[in-house]
């Protein structure tokens, strides 16, 4: 599958590696020919990421894998679907993109959800369908009390665990 990822932080890069290792054709920042677009940057940069993506076909599956609070109604997955005028938006929660990761997902288009499930299962993840896109808030990781993004916190915790084992 041809996948375009928008976002350049460590978590977006890890997501790209996970999907490329599963033999998907992954590129960063170029939506041309992409069958699947993944927005994986900070949620407060959603509009910037959308402008980077340019025109998005209504047939394209869009994954909202952005990090950050869903408390702002202007940047939640439902608003993303409205901005794109598409039902093919799927929200995923994958705080630590790696082999064996648990991926929770929700969306309103059955075909899009099936393709997202296939891509992540093919990458060695465990997937769980959490229903409609309106369930997005229910699959979010708990708020992080530090200012550090959850990916960095989890990555640090894994590194500490690996050295103490």
- Give residue 29's Cα distance to chain centre: 14
Instruction: Tell me the pLDDT tens digit for each residue of 93-111.
Output: 998 899 999 999 999 999 9
In this structure, is residue 165 part of a structural domain?
Answer: no
Q: How far apart are CA 158 and CA 161, in angstroms?
A: 5
What's the average model confidence in pLDDT over 32-52?
90
Strands 102-107 and 89-93 come out as antiparallel
Higher pLDDT, 43 or 2: 2
In this structure, is residue 49 part of a structural domain?
Answer: yes
CATH number, residue 93: 3.40.50.720
The pLDDT value recorded for residue 32 is 83
Domain that residue 27 falls in: 2-140
pTM: 0.84
The pLDDT value recorded for residue 72 is 56
Does the pLDDT at position 156 exceed 60? no
Residues 6+ apart with CB under 8 A from 2: 24, 25, 33, 34, 35, 36
Q: Indicate the number of domains in the chain.
A: 1
């Amino acid at each position: 599958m041809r996948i375009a990822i928008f976002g350049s932080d460590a978590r977006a890069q890890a997501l790209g590696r996970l999907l490329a290792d599963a033999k998907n054709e992954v590129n960063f920042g170029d939506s041309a020919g992409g069958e699947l677009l993944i927005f994986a940057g900070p949620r407060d940069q959603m509009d910037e990421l959308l402008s980077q993506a340019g025109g998005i076909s209504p047939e394209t599956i869009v994954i909202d894998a952005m990090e950050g609070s869903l408390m702002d109604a202007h940047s939640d997955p439902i608003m993303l679907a409205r901005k794109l005028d598409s039902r093919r938006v799927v929200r995923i929660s994958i705080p630590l993109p790696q082999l064996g990761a648990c991926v929770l997902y929700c969306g309103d288009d059955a075909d899009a959800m099936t393709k997202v499930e296939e891509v992540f299962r093919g990458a060695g993840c465990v997937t769980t369908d959490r229903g409609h896109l309106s369930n997005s808030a229910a699959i979010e990781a708990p708020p992080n009390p530090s200012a550090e993004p959850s990916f960095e916190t989890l990555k640090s915790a894994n590194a500490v665990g690996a050295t103490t084992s």
